[in-house]
Structure 1
Amino acid sequence: MGIVAGLDSSPDFTRIVVCDSDTGAVLRQGYAPHPLDSPEGGGRPADVDPQAWLLSLGEAAGGGLLEGVQAIGVSAQANSVVPLDAQGNTVRPAMVGGDKRAQVAAADLIDGLGGREAWAQAVGAVPQAAHPVTKLRWLARSEPDAAARTAVLLQAHDWLVWQLLGRPVRRTTDRGGASGTGYWSAATGAYRPDLVELALGHQVMLPEVIGPAEAAGTTPEGLLISAGTGETQAAAFGLGIGLGDAVVSLGASGSVMAVHTEPLVDQSGMITALADATGMHLPVVTTLNAVRTLRGAAELLGVPDLESLSELAMKSTPGAHGLVLLPYLEGERTPNLPHTAGTLAGLRRESMRPEHLARAAFEGMLCGLGDALDVLRGRGVDVRRVFLLGAAAELPAVQAAAPALFGTQVVVPQPADYAAIGSARQAAWALGVSQGTLDPRTPPVWQGAVAQVLEPGEELAVGQAVRQQFVSVREQTHPGALRT
């Protein structure tokens, strides 16, 4: 038995899992929050000193956690940019997260290349405020001195790998991380340095993209460090999803991703063509409104929490007595309706009861995510099974409705840090390849996540009728907004 570790540096904390390299069994874990100050008004900071990630890593690894470990994999938050000068020092704090400062920069970049279709063809994604390429345009416009001194660009997981290796001359990344930058194409497997120059105003050094099973290097202490990847890709790898699987994540906003054999080009910008951590592709569709819809409904109905809202919704029946909620409370990205508002349709005297509105909120959220699934299906992505993630996936009203509304088997994995587990699995793969015991084309087979499996069963026809009711209201309210 070998021992490997997976390190996930999320926006808020570092979690480390130490695993058996043969089975994936978790042997021990470590955790530490990031020492970050919240900005005025709350929320997460848009600028972070990357040293905070190292401090958190050191704390999480304390107490001999990594004793006996032979290899480490690293995942970290996506949409991060660490700008370095020619000596490898940070020019300014890392730019992270969904940075609203960069919204104008995104529009500038789209126009600068000739429109949304040009970007979709170039790199499989249309710039949004969160994308690294957009942050570079903001930097060039807002902090020209810092932009001029920027000579090297890394993302969070690239920077952490580089630090663990002792800051070598060679800097690396992986396909998954590179595919989220806005200046690397999953279709061609190559950087677009012209897009970096378009955004930043000059050329820079970019990390070498290495294969999924390659090692980035070895630490001075002899630990093998695998390629690393983005948090999304690591979570997919930790779950063990394959062709025919999709992952639906229920946060305040929602996301749907699925494994696919080829990159997708979508000029509407609804699909972001990411690469995964195995050599395949991971198209992603996001929605702005998921659990925020439920929280809004709970406040409106005066119930204290989502568990109470779920209990109320279960007193209604599928279709909510004709009530349909289009949950576009923050505008929406899928369909692309940035300036719209939500819609409640089907109000009749008999439907104006709290339990029916509660049910409509759950069905509206899930139907919105069903629309995102249909965007992928409409492009030839096979979806036979859906993994449902997030605390809301545990709610009875979600579990009762999701299989029939999605039209598939639904798997609700036991809560775990699947990004850290995926990073450990990547470390085991790189270790096995280096020792000649694993094939670089075939990752290690680990025990799957402990999960509930839910089938649509006899409710399928009813669920599809509810979906059709939702689609009809959407088409009446926003004709042609969603072309799948």
Structure 2
Amino acid sequence: MSKTLILAHDIGTTGNKASLYNEFGEVLGSAFYGYETSYPQVGWAEQNPQDWWRAVCITSKELLAKTKVSPKEIACVTFSGQMMGCVFLDQKGRVLREAIIWADMRAEQEAEDLLNKLSMEKVYRTTGHRISSSYSGAKIMWVKRHEPEVYRQTYKILNAKDYLVYQLTGQLATDYSDASGTNVFDLVNKRWSAEIIDAWGMDADKLPSVYPSTQVIGEVAAHAVEETGLAFGTPVVIGGGDGCCAGVGVGVVTEGDAFNYIGSSAWIAVATEKPVFDPEMKTYTWAHLDPDKYSPNGTMQSAGASYQWVRDQLYSSEYAKAKETGQSIYELMNEHAAKSMPGANKLLYLPYLMGERSPRWNPSARATFLGLHMTHTRQDMTRAVMEGVAFNLKIILDTFLKADIEIDRMWVLGGGAKGKLWRQILADIYEVDISVPCVLEEATSMGAAVAGGIGIGLLRDFSIAKQWVKHSELIVPSRDNRRIYREMYGAFEEAYHQLLPIYSRLFKL
């Protein structure tokens, strides 16, 4: 029986999606199983790792049944997973507490502790990232300080996908991409940073061994066969973090390839031969799934979240009706925004509803409509929000351009990629062609599947990702809109800097 199928699990925040691929990148089927997040206190976010495992077991069996595929036809299992979390295991592999996930921000003091020992620039130049409570390292140190008994009993600390690899194989490991989300990983030398570990007072032996994303970590063990329905001995490739997998899933695998994800938050990422260490530290760099490359990135907080705010505040009655009829409120909002001219009748929106990560790194920044006039309509405000998000992302894009990365085309993913108007606005403001893949929802699992296929020798190398991704539409920038958006972009930048003292003052009230 020919073994040419790849099972990729995408462990997200809301659930796990299992997808089955053949060697040509075609999706034969998928299955989803959701789970909950708990918020014990403000700023805390936790999940039960057993829920992830249950989701993997259920979706594996459901997918095999749905596609009528024999488990023996599966060449390998691989993973994409939510990043920047931590699972604490004892020496017998038992979970000692709920997993602290990426959205958890409780470890501000622990991040400050590291900043008092090592400079921001030192850590940035070592790990590719600023010091932040978002990353796994600070969360680990929070547990050491506040739950010393848990920390004492801890044998290894894993990320989400790594725990599932352990459940399948019994092997404890992580990959370069997930390791680069810890604030503890030496990005260039591909090893845990002894200097950061010592400065934080962390125990190095609690961190797992680190491998390329294409590494075959082990095989499906006997104890996992009945629970998952998979065949004993099926190779398991470790895969990577979800953001890094998404890039490979749209063929961002060679120097200058780029993609823009627009969901509740949004980011721009590129593929490079070397990390991008921005002098102003506006952006950061992940390890790419390809061990010889990197994935510089910049993530803003409130992209689709800004559009949802407009939905809730300016379209509440229409939204209620749309939910009753099953229609999309966003189609109406897009139609309204299209009635406003480019530049939204000289109305600016600064998209800082939840402070800002990249490119501002300013938690006190606040969202602003600037230039409101009696003649402005909600159509103008809706369009201004789309444009404001794009202006903010352009700052990230410009950071990469200043690093001599040539970008002439950008793939766009996520919910924001569904609306034609927003795609055109992005093309006009970025001044690059925008490409839309045929399937918007499969990029992360597809990237993991590529890594899996390479790991077992089914696929040649990462260049195959460019063949797997299918193109549905190309949006070309409008020359007529270029002048308008260049002027508005300059005003957008100046407005933020002029408002800095006001943000600071309001934050202290």
**So what's the TM-score if we normalise by structure 1?**
0.89
Select the residue among 112, 117, 122 that pairs with 1:118: 122
CA offset at residue 193 of structure 1? 3.8
2:50 maps to which residue? 51
Cα–Cα, structure 1 residues 457 and 183, in superposed 2: closer, same or farther, change >3 Å? same
Cα–Cα, structure 1 residues 251 and 478, in superposed 2: closer, same or farther, change >3 Å? same
Asked whether the equivalents of residues 46 and 104 of structure 2 are also in contact (C-alpha less than 8 Å), the reply is no
1:93 maps to which residue? 98
CA offset at residue 100 of structure 1? 2.2
Asked whether the equivalents of residues 214 and 227 of structure 1 are also in contact (C-alpha less than 8 Å), the reply is yes
Give the 5 Å matches for 1:26-105: 26-34=27-35, 36=36, 38-39=38-39, 46-63=45-62, 64-65=64-65, 67=70, 68-105=73-110
CA offset at residue 427 of structure 1? 1.5
Cα–Cα, structure 1 residues 264 and 403, in superposed 2: closer, same or farther, change >3 Å? same
Question: Percent identity of the aligned residues?
Answer: 23
1:367 aligns with 2:391: yes
CA offset at residue 123 of structure 1? 1.4
1:295 aligns with 2:308: yes
3-state SS in 1 of match to 2:205: coil
Asked whether the equivalents of residues 347 and 371 of structure 2 are also in contact (C-alpha less than 8 Å), the reply is yes
Work out the CA distance in 1 between the residues paired with 2:43 and 2:109: 20
Q: 1:42-100: per-residue Cα shift (whole Å, max 9, x none)?
A: x9972222111111111101143562111111111101211222333222222112212
Cα–Cα, structure 1 residues 31 and 45, in superposed 2: closer, same or farther, change >3 Å? farther
Work out the CA distance in 1 between the residues paired with 2:498 and 2:301: 21
1:224 aligns with 2:235: yes
Work out the CA distance in 2 between the residues paired with 1:37 and 1:187: 34
Work out the CA distance in 2 between the residues paired with 1:317 and 1:346: 15
2:468 maps to which residue? 447
1:263 aligns with 2:275: yes
What is the one-letter code of the residue matched to 2:216? Answer: A
What is the one-letter code of the residue matched to 2:233? Answer: G
Work out the CA distance in 1 between the residues paired with 2:38 and 2:47: 10
1:215 maps to which residue? 216
* Aligned-pair Cα RMSD in Å: 2.5
Work out the CA distance in 2 between the residues paired with 1:341 and 1:45: 22
Cα–Cα, structure 1 residues 299 and 159, in superposed 2: closer, same or farther, change >3 Å? closer
Give the 5 Å matches for 1:228-239: 228-239=239-250
Select the residue among 7, 10, 23 that pairs with 1:8: 10
CA offset at residue 159 of structure 1? 1.7
Q: Where does the alignment leave 5 or more consecutive residues of structure 2 unmatched?
A: 222-231, 320-328, 504-509
Work out the CA distance in 2 between the residues paired with 1:37 and 1:274: 25
Q: 1:154-182: per-residue Cα shift (whole Å, max 9, x none)?
A: 111222112211x14xx332211111111
Select the residue among 140, 156, 162 that pairs with 1:152: 156
What is the one-letter code of the residue matched to 2:353? Answer: L
Select the residue among 464, 467, 471 that pairs with 2:489: 467
Asked whether the equivalents of residues 234 and 423 of structure 1 are also in contact (C-alpha less than 8 Å), the reply is yes
Work out the CA distance in 2 between the residues paired with 1:266 and 1:144: 37
1:187 maps to which residue? 188
Give the 5 Å matches for 1:346-365: 346-350=371-375, 352-365=376-389
Q: 1:203-234: per-residue Cα shift (whole Å, max 9, x none)?
A: 32432222343321223412111131111111
CA offset at residue 201 of structure 1? 4.0
What is the one-letter code of the residue matched to 1:403? Answer: A
CA offset at residue 408 of structure 1? 0.4
What is the one-letter code of the residue matched to 1:213? Answer: T
Q: 1:126-161: per-residue Cα shift (whole Å, max 9, x none)?
A: 222220001012111211111122221211122211
Give the 5 Å matches for 1:121-132: 121-132=125-136
Q: Where does the alignment leave 5 or more consecutive residues of structure 1 unmatched?
A: none
Asked whether the equivalents of residues 125 and 266 of structure 1 are also in contact (C-alpha less than 8 Å), the reply is no
Asked whether the equivalents of residues 116 and 267 of structure 1 are also in contact (C-alpha less than 8 Å), the reply is no
Give the 5 Å matches for 1:248-259: 248-259=260-271
Alignment size in residue pairs: 468
2:370 maps to which residue? 345
Select the residue among 432, 435, 441 that pairs with 2:457: 432
Q: 1:341-363: per-residue Cα shift (whole Å, max 9, x none)?
A: 2222223444x232222221111
CA offset at residue 254 of structure 1? 1.7
1:310 maps to which residue? 334
Work out the CA distance in 1 between the residues paired with 2:441 and 2:33: 16
Work out the CA distance in 1 between the residues paired with 2:217 and 2:203: 27
What is the one-letter code of the residue matched to 2:242? Answer: E
Cα–Cα, structure 1 residues 118 and 306, in superposed 2: closer, same or farther, change >3 Å? same
Select the residue among 404, 422, 445 that pairs with 2:447: 422
1:245 aligns with 2:247: no
What is the one-letter code of the residue matched to 2:339? Answer: K
Work out the CA distance in 1 between the residues paired with 2:477 and 2:301: 26
What is the one-letter code of the residue matched to 2:271? Answer: V
What is the one-letter code of the residue matched to 1:184? Answer: F
CA offset at residue 445 of structure 1? 5.8
